Amino acid sequence: MGVKKLSISLDAEAFDRAKQAAQAEGVSLSSWLSRAAVEAADLTEARAALAEYLTAYGEPDADAMADARAELTGLGIGQPEPADRTAARAAALARLRGRVPDRRQPR
């Protein structure tokens, strides 16, 4: 994967928030902005795919939506996550990224 350099302008608030977020994650501003750009592009592509799907197949009916919601609820998707699980997941992610979390939560 190659790297391309460019010059960009950000409004002051966007710059400050991005810099603060990069520092909090322990990465360079350049790396943070690169990841943010990929995430934004992924979201744009997902929205386009959804629009294409809806054009081809139309909106789901009420029964299909209810079935989908029930399946997602059964899988725990969209449900509140207990604080200890959130902390454990964040610690595991930090370890995967090569960073040692400040505190480990007891299991």
pLDDT tens sequence across 71-91: 999 998 988 888 999 999 888
Q: At residue 105, does pLDDT exceed 80?
A: no
pLDDT at 102: 55
Q: Does 80 fall in a domain?
A: yes
Burial (0-12, 13-18, 19+ Cβ within 10 Å), 105: middle
Query: Considering just the CA atoms, what is the radius of gyration of the chain in Å?
Result: 19
φ and ψ of 91, to 5 deg: -65, -40
pLDDT tens sequence across 17-30: 999 999 999 999 99
Q: Does 3 fall in a domain?
A: no
Co-location of 48 and 84 in the same domain: no
Co-location of 100 and 77 in the same domain: yes
Q: At residue 70, does pLDDT exceed 90?
A: yes
Mean pLDDT of the chain: 90
